Amino acid sequence: MADKNVELVEGLVVRGQVNGRRTYGKAAKQALVQMCLRPGTSVASTALAHGINANLLRRWMTQYAPAGGGGEASSSSVSLLPVSTTPIDARASGSTIEISFMGASIRVHCTVDARALQIVLDALAQRM
């Protein structure tokens, strides 16, 4: 079922042929592409709401998206955090992990539990 939050673009179909093929307006195609580039917009639900195939809409996204705007893939792409390691003195009783994220640093001084570290990293990933 079509998403109720999708706004409809007027003038999408310029001409319909007897064999079922349709010709679409360039301005309407560009408007749909811009709509799909918004964060949280589903390409599939937008296509469904407009009666077109999602693959066709994705093709339009490659044709009409601004340079560097790869659509859904770029809006939801994963950003990798820079990681650096520092040699730790083997005689030290504990170890230290430092995470720099969005201008803040988190330092953990002790033996670090891998599960606890995963929880911290998951929480940081959700904030991105």
Read off φ and ψ for residue 18, nearest 5 degrees: -60, -35
Q: How far apart are CA 7 and CA 49, in angstroms?
A: 9
Angle at 70 between CA 65 and CA 73, to 5 degrees: 145
Cα–Cα dist 49/31, whole Å: 14
Predicted local distance difference test score (pLDDT) of residue 72: 44
Run of H or E residues at 42: none
Q: Provide the residue ranges of all domains of the chain, joining segments of one domain with +.
A: 13-75, 78-128
Can you tell me the distance from the alpha carbon of 68 to that of 86, in angstroms, rounded to the nearest whole number?
A: 35
**Rounded-to-integer distance, Cα 55 and Cα 112, Å:** 46
pLDDT at 57: 92
Q: What is the pLDDT of residue 87?
A: 64
Residue by residue, pLDDT tens for the chain (128 residues) are 444 555 667 767 777 778 878 888 888 888 889 888 888 888 999 888 888 899 999 999 988 877 655 444 444 566 777 777 666 554 455 667 777 766 777 777 777 677 777 787 777 777 66
